[in-house]
Amino acid sequence: MTQGIIERLGFIGLGVMGEPMCRNLLAAGKWQITAFDLDPAPLARLRDQGAKAAGSPEDLAGEADMIITCLPGGNEVRDVFFGSGRLIERVGSGQILVDMSTSPPALMRELAAAASERGADFADAPIARTRQAATDGSLAIMVGADQVVFDAIRPVLSVMGSDIMHCGAAGAGQVIKIMNNMVLFQTVQALAEAVTIAEGAGVDGQTLLATMAKGSGDSFALRNHAMKSLLPEVFPVQAFSVRYAAKDLAYALDMAAEQGVVASGAINVAQRFEEAIAGGYGDLYFPVIRRLLKET
């Protein structure tokens, strides 16, 4: 188990969430940071702010005490560690690997075992909340790790998030993140249906949501996804897209199948996501599923 001081960070994955997260780590001025991404643009922006650019994930391995991955999903995480990136072959004793992507819990346990064989430690630390939260450093971060590892990485995570929660052993953070998203997606679909039905019945959508926010129908999804996206019908491309949501929901349904649970609500939303992708909405912010209701 790691006992060392974290002085050098590696950051792999500088997308919509990863770039502002890495920027906050740079702004903290506490660590030397080496970054990598397939897209040279965010890498150049962060290099201008003091990051060192790595030529590949394996090159980055020797430059960091703690390596963070923030990638689109499990397929990319597996490729970086076990496939073309070959990162797992380059890590060693005293290093800590932290996956902040949303990935299958089974992959997290596999990574934890592979890291342990090389004398390294592992934590899964998926993130929740918005792109603005990533910019503000106010993400919610759900961590699956041994207590000693959690204590070691918490100062780093606290620069990127305001709520850092220890959820259990490796994989537990992903379980909770995936269940959180499963509930969120179902709530957003219910809100999309409610707004569409209410407006069709002659009730103003803003009035509906403002009134629901005072009662038992209130939720984070109502105050954010519904009021800021569903109602004004603002569905940007550079946000949590239908494709990403469908990926996360597929992880939830895989977990449900493993437990023998027929997750009918999640199955219904997964079908709606498939329809949205088929309709050309796959790259838009996932509350765009409201358009499907308006088109029927």
What pLDDT is stored for residue 55 in this prediction?
A: 93
Q: Which residue has the tokens 């050309």?
A: 280
What pLDDT is stored for residue 296 in this prediction?
A: 75
Over range 59-85, report the average pLDDT.
96
Q: Please name the residues in contact with 125: beta carbons below 8 A apart, sequence gap of 6 or more.
A: 98, 99, 100, 141, 142, 143, 144, 145, 153, 157, 173
- The pTM (predicted TM-score) of the whole model is 0.94
Residues 94 and 180 both lie in one domain: no
Residues 83 and 207 both lie in one domain: no
Closest by Cα among 251, 242, 252 to 284 = 242
Structure confidence by residue, pLDDT tens digits, 218-235? 999 999 999 999 999 999
Structure confidence by residue, pLDDT tens digits, 80-129? 999 998 999 999 999 999 999 999 999 999 999 999 999 999 999 999 99
Closest by Cα among 64, 68, 193, 47 to 124 = 68
Residues 210 and 112 both lie in one domain: no
Query: Residue 171 carries which side chain, given as an amino acid letter?
Result: G
pLDDT higher than threshold 50 for residue 1: no
CB 189 within 8 A of CB 289: yes
Number of domains in the chain: 2
Structure confidence by residue, pLDDT tens digits, 185-216? 999 999 999 999 999 999 999 999 999 999 99
Asked if the structure places residue 3 within a domain, the reply is no
Asked if the structure places residue 105 within a domain, the reply is yes
What pLDDT is stored for residue 77 in this prediction?
A: 98
pLDDT higher than threshold 90 for residue 238: no
Residues 204 and 134 both lie in one domain: no
Closest by Cα among 103, 141, 101 to 13 = 101
Residues 87 and 44 both lie in one domain: yes
pLDDT-based confidence at residue 270 (cuts at 50, 70, 90) = very high
In the chain, which ranges are continuous DSSP H helix? 18-28, 40-48, 57-61, 74-82, 105-117, 131-136, 147-160, 172-200, 205-212, 220-221, 242-259, 264-278, 290-295
Structure confidence by residue, pLDDT tens digits, 24-64? 999 999 999 999 999 999 999 999 999 999 999 999 999 99
Active-site residue, 177 included: yes
The CATH number assigned to the domain holding 213 equals 1.10.1040.10
Asked if the structure places residue 40 within a domain, the reply is yes
Residues 109 and 179 both lie in one domain: no
What pLDDT is stored for residue 4 in this prediction?
A: 66
Q: Which of 177, 214, 247, 294 is catalytic?
A: 177
pLDDT higher than threshold 60 for residue 2: no
Across the chain, mean pLDDT equals 96
Residues 148 and 188 both lie in one domain: no
Q: Which of 169, 188, 222 is the last residue of a domain?
A: 169
Over range 245-258, report the average pLDDT.
98
Domain residues for 268?
A: 175-295
